Amino acid sequence: MKFKNLLLLLVLTICSFTFLNAQDISEGARSMSQGVNNAYTLDLPDAGDKLVQKLWKDFIKDYKGKVKKVKKSDDWLAEGCKIASINGSQGVNVYSRTEKSGDGSEHMVWFDLGDGNYLSSGKDANKILDSFAHQVKKELVRLELEDEEKHLKQLQGELKKLVRLNENYHKDIEKAEQAIVKAKENIKVNLQEQENSQGLIESQKEAVEAVKKRLSKM
């Protein structure tokens, strides 16, 4: 039994590690609002494009960039980001776009270093996207937890209804039992009344016979 528990713990640990670290990041020229430039593309098969776009806006603000929509484009620009590992003390304009891909999404990021130069083969860019992917997956787990808690509340609500029904059934039984006791008492009274009524009938029959005899003698 202990061995099975240890094996299960090992499997869960491996799955957790894979879940948090298995990011699919590719690099290559991609078309964007400023032409065709080198992009870092993050594949997020389990996260919808709207969710990813929202999370990216919050994420990139940590680099002090001013986020705005690029006119006549699906791109977003975080202007003047402070990323020392990529461009020293100089600001970096970070362009991004999120597109639907199957059940998930594809998130593209361009690091504009100025003078028409875009970052390529930058390990620090991968680190940034790795960190963002972790945030996305963390949010997915939080949303999953939210759904599970909601489902739990629904089940608890259904249980409360069942408990109330059970209480009502017991009350119905109690009322029925009281009605049975009352009916039994009524039966006893009824039988006594029947006996009394039968006695009256017999007396009345005798009265009728007496009158008949008197009539026959007249």
Task: Provide the percentage of residues in the chain whose pLDDT is more than 90.
Answer: 77
Q: Is 122 inside a domain boundary?
A: yes
65 assigned to some structural domain? yes
How many domains, the chain? Answer: 1
- pTM of the complete model: 0.69
Domain assignment present for 161: no
Residue that wins the pLDDT comparison between 18 and 192: 192
Q: Is residue 137 over pLDDT 70?
A: yes
Parent domain of 133: 24-148
Residue 81 has pLDDT above 60, yes or no: yes
Q: Per-residue confidence at 122, pLDDT binned at 50, 70, 90? A: confident
Average pLDDT rounded to a whole number, residues 80-87: 90
Residue 216 within a domain: no
In a domain, 49, yes or no: yes
Assign 3-class secondary structure to the chain.
CHHHHHHHHHHHHHHHHHHHHCCEEEEEEEEECCEEEEEEEEEECCCCHHHHHHHHHHHHHHHCCEEEECCCCCCEEEEEECCHHHHCCCCEEEEEEEEEECCEEEEEEEEEEECCEECCCCHHHHHHHHHHHHHHHHHHHHHHHHHHHHHHHHHHHHHHHHHHHHHHHHHHHHHHHHHHHHHHHHHHHHHHHHHHHHHHHHHHHHHHHHHHHHHHCC
Q: 53 lies in a domain?
A: yes
The answer to whether residue 36 is domain-embedded is yes
Query: Which CATH number belongs to the domain containing residue 121 in this structure?
Result: 3.30.310
Is the residue at 29 inside a domain?
Answer: yes
pLDDT of residue 147 exceeding 50, the answer is: yes
